[in-house]
Structure 1
């Protein structure tokens, strides 16, 4: 097991790379100065590391070197940069450098804080490198958001991150999770706040062929590099902005272990009403199933297999998947507001009403539950409430009971149609409990099978998910 040395400064990391005569490469940075290259030059002995630095700021110049791209701050442009620079490095130096040289190309295309406009401060960063002399290339790509307030601070943070990427790629490549944990070294301010957020990472190439990238993106949340990651309906890791930008979003939160007929009915019933809201268009709706980190197992190996199973099953139903560590609903809503100003709908079962109205969830908020509700329902946001049955009694938004302190808040939200009762539901599914089904699956065949959509049931049985072991037929 490789240990993450958290004591190293940025200068010490840069100098360690510079003093290794094997590691030799190029730095190309567009959008926030040449901050990474500067870190290596400032550390000393950079002649042992730096073959070339460049910033092709002019779009025409950039296009002439790397080719056209749909967007300049994009994964497409980053990959063009890495392709060109890494190939050129080998072409120029293979015949003159020692055979044991480990070549690398570091590239970044970012848009930092602008004087003239309010822009999303984000970027794409990557490194392509050899991890053994003469070996085919390996590659790490990531999407970042800069959280500092000024261009100078953002540029400085990008320089520190770049050193962490280069140092970590060479020193922690055998343990990709350790590499991820090292990315925010020296990037936490004195108040404990991150200066950079990394919301997507992708390992590929010769050395990383066995890496499961979905698990690596889950580890971004575990290691506090970000608060949430997303997977599209095909199971691929995606930048939240690319999935949510200018979309109306309907999100259902649950354990989904496994997804059941009641989850499908909740989503479909809420969707019918969501599409009736002003301005919502069917082709612009992004349906998201969200799993909070609290819903994942504490045992990492069990959790990883369990997590992949849930993502696969939700994809079978056509859902995009969000993994977050947001326990409180208003935090989830605020996170989505970063990426879309369109309507947001949240689907909630009466069974989970305590997560919305229990005062203990709002301790530490100056305005308590009133502040939380104000943030949750501030503009173009509705919560669609799905009923349940308790002891043969139907519990709906009209007769649900909350603490006395919350009764008038509930009335206000209902009266103003911020909390909206689901109108149509399938009464046959109200008894279904995913947690109850999860205890029955390891026992083999049973009544639980009829409580799951057919494609989910067959996938669980075919892949022996959640401990399934089919019993011999009688």
Structure 2
């Protein structure tokens, strides 16, 4: 069968790679696709171990799988270990927060913890094991380029690991594709954590031009299986109005759709946030790090500040 043929080719490629490409693991990963296409094979986990690979960071290899299209997503835990997504997701309720995490700030963690409290209160989630994920998309990692900045990626991975978080790298920029991926691997509830600015992105129709049903099809796919979106408020500065799901104004012709989704409970407002974190933005932290303004470390957890200082991530320089 075609499946057996594809597996046979992968086996041959793997043997070849083991003999001739073991000194360049990234090329070994790429070589697995020789004489194949990403339509014929999917590899969602790869791990290099042994003395010959002692300098290989398997998180980079996980990233490579997604980058070359061998998998739509890859996962690794806080201890740098790569994980088999199907095993980890199986029979777990999933709460996922997407972000750039450059670096992780108090607000990122407050978003997640606030949503987790609400998520646990859902009757369908009560007493179920919950998997928390911090998601990095390939689009965010590529930042408009064609190559991922490895040091930048490892910086994000390290600070997320320091916060005890499991990381999902995905090529699912559209949320409905992320939801489809997760729901194909667990039957339990799924929650997504967003900030108010992401709602406007969610209602931008340009992202759904490939769907026959456009934005309506997007929400149909996204919200099936009772997926719920938990929204963290926005307040750009202390004197500004607090923006919540109840103050959001999208395009006029889409406002009735938005209002309907709020009424039906698809969007849930997080009201259990810590107000002192509202003014923290990752881009401000980055600017302060680059400028040598030491006040940035008040905006991130201590373990994150320690890693940034000791490893020189995010352009940090000792003064």
Partners of 1:227 and 1:243 in 2: how far apart? 16
Q: Which runs of 4+ in 1 moved over 3 A?
A: 297-302
Q: Does residue 50 of structure 2 align to residue 205 of structure 1?
A: yes
Mark the runs of 5 or more structure 1 residues left unpaired by the alignment: 1-151
User: Conserved in 2, the CA contact under 8 Å of 1:445 and 1:470?
Assistant: no
Tell me the residue number matched to 2:235: 389
Q: Does residue 71 of structure 2 align to residue 226 of structure 1?
A: yes
Instruction: Tell me by how many angstroms 1:168 deviates.
Output: 2.4
Distance of aligned partners of 1:380 and 1:179 in 2 relative to their CA distance in 1, 3 Å threshold: same
**What secondary structure sits across from 2:193 in the alignment?**
strand
Tell me the residue number matched to 1:183: 32
User: Conserved in 2, the CA contact under 8 Å of 1:289 and 1:320?
Assistant: yes
Larger radius of gyration: 1
Instruction: Tell me by how many angstroms 1:283 deviates.
Output: 6.2
**What secondary structure sits across from 1:196 in the alignment?**
coil
Partners of 2:75 and 2:253 in 1: how far apart? 36
Partners of 1:173 and 1:236 in 2: how far apart? 20
Tell me the residue number matched to 1:368: 214
Mark the runs of 5 or more structure 2 residues left unpaired by the alignment: none
Partners of 2:123 and 2:268 in 1: how far apart? 15
- Return the structure number with greater helix share: 2
Aligned mate of 1:456, from 278, 286, 304? 304
Tell me the residue number matched to 2:106: 261
**What secondary structure sits across from 2:63 in the alignment?**
helix
User: Conserved in 2, the CA contact under 8 Å of 1:460 and 1:466?
Assistant: yes
Tell me the residue number matched to 1:324: 170
Residue deviations 1:378-411, cap 9 Å, x none? 0131000111014611110001110112111111
Tell me the residue number matched to 1:51: none
Tell me the residue number matched to 1:236: 81
Residue deviations 1:271-325, cap 9 Å, x none? 1110010131466011100011122256789721111121121122121100111
Aligned mate of 1:166, from 15, 29, 35? 15
Partners of 2:286 and 2:272 in 1: how far apart? 27
User: Conserved in 2, the CA contact under 8 Å of 1:342 and 1:380?
Assistant: no
User: Conserved in 1, the CA contact under 8 Å of 2:93 and 2:128?
Assistant: no
Q: Does residue 187 of structure 2 align to residue 341 of structure 1?
A: yes
**What secondary structure sits across from 1:256 in the alignment?**
coil
**What secondary structure sits across from 1:158 in the alignment?**
helix
Q: Does residue 224 of structure 2 align to residue 378 of structure 1?
A: yes
Tell me the residue number matched to 1:292: 137
Partners of 1:447 and 1:169 in 2: how far apart? 49
Tell me the residue number matched to 1:5: none
Partners of 1:182 and 1:469 in 2: how far apart? 38
- Asked which structure has the greater RCO (Cα within 8 Å, sep 6+), the reply is 2
Tell me the residue number matched to 2:256: 408
- Return the structure number with greater strand share: 1
Tell me the residue number matched to 1:120: none
Partners of 1:302 and 1:242 in 2: how far apart? 27
What TM-score do you get using the length of structure 1 for normalisation? 0.64
Single out whichever of 272-281 and 337-346 deviates more from structure 2: 272-281
User: Conserved in 2, the CA contact under 8 Å of 1:347 and 1:385?
Assistant: yes
Tell me the residue number matched to 1:216: 61
Instruction: Tell me by how many angstroms 1:169 deviates.
Output: 2.2
How many residue pairs were aligned?
316
